[in-house]
Amino acid sequence: MQKRFIWIILFLWIHVLLIGQDNNKLCIHNLTDNFYVYTTYKDINGTMFPSNSMYLVTDAGVVLFDTPWDTTQFQPLLDSIWFRHQANVVLAIATHYHDDRTAGLEFFKQRGVKTFSSKLTYDLCEKFNEKQAAYYFENDTVFEVGNYKFETYYAGEGHTKDNIVIWFGSHKILYGGCLIKSTESKNLGNIADANLQEWKPTIKKVLRKYPRPKYVIPGHFGWESNKGLQHTLKLLESASQ
């Protein structure tokens, strides 16, 4: 009897292990300290296109910066976070209204997560029928969650009207979302809703405000280099020629 019980426990444990494991649909990388970049993918014309988001593990729970793009990965993300950190997600902030940032807002809201975006993003989600946060902030806002502090910054239009960045001053991490292109990107990507004139001055404002980031996390592709801002300027220059 006892033996069978041990087998059941073992089976459950392996099951949890498998669910908690990152699969090729959800990749989680520790950036530094308690900061993680997670990536989900979407099939764009036969190619799996990656989308980066972040999460931060604080002693008052986990904060998500943007939600998975792949709508099958909302629960796996919560499971993976629980498995790795034995912590619940308490807060989620979306950095612009496109679905690679907002797709999971409704899901997380239903799981008791406090969901936030800027007022501009909140309104654009409504207008374009994207999932919407429950709460919004009207100005750049400093959030304090447990032992961490970070700020949102809106520098102007670029990839979209409403794109904001998030700055983690203690670790010099600039989470750029889709305003910032990866140094691996050969073009500006989806510019259907972009403001190509304003994008450059917007990036320059971000550079002035955060001149020496240690890490720069773009919305898509690799973040090995911290020169994403400069690379975005270069791409904008060649696009305007």
Query: Residues in the site for Zn ion, rule: CB under 5 A?
Result: 100, 178, 219
> From the candidates 79, 85, 123, 190, which is the catalytic residue?
190
171 in active site: no
> From the candidates 34, 99, 159, 162, which is the catalytic residue?
159
Dihedral pair phi/psi, residue 11, rounded to 5°: -65, -45
In order of 71, 102, 180, the CA distances from 107 in angstroms are: 9, 10, 26
CB of 130 to Zn ion, least distance (A): 12
By beta-carbon proximity to Zn ion, the closer residue of 148 and 223 is: 223
100 in active site: yes
By beta-carbon proximity to Zn ion, the closer residue of 61 and 219 is: 219
CB of 220 to Zn ion, least distance (A): 6
By beta-carbon proximity to Zn ion, the closer residue of 34 and 231 is: 231
98 in active site: yes
> From the candidates 34, 66, 70, 98, which is the catalytic residue?
98
> From the candidates 70, 99, 100, 162, which is the catalytic residue?
100
220 in active site: no
CB of 101 to Zn ion, least distance (A): 7
CB of 7 to Zn ion, least distance (A): 46
Residue whose beta carbon is closest to Zn ion: 178
By beta-carbon proximity to Zn ion, the closer residue of 90 and 239 is: 239
Q: Which residues are known to be catalytic?
A: 96, 98, 100, 159, 190
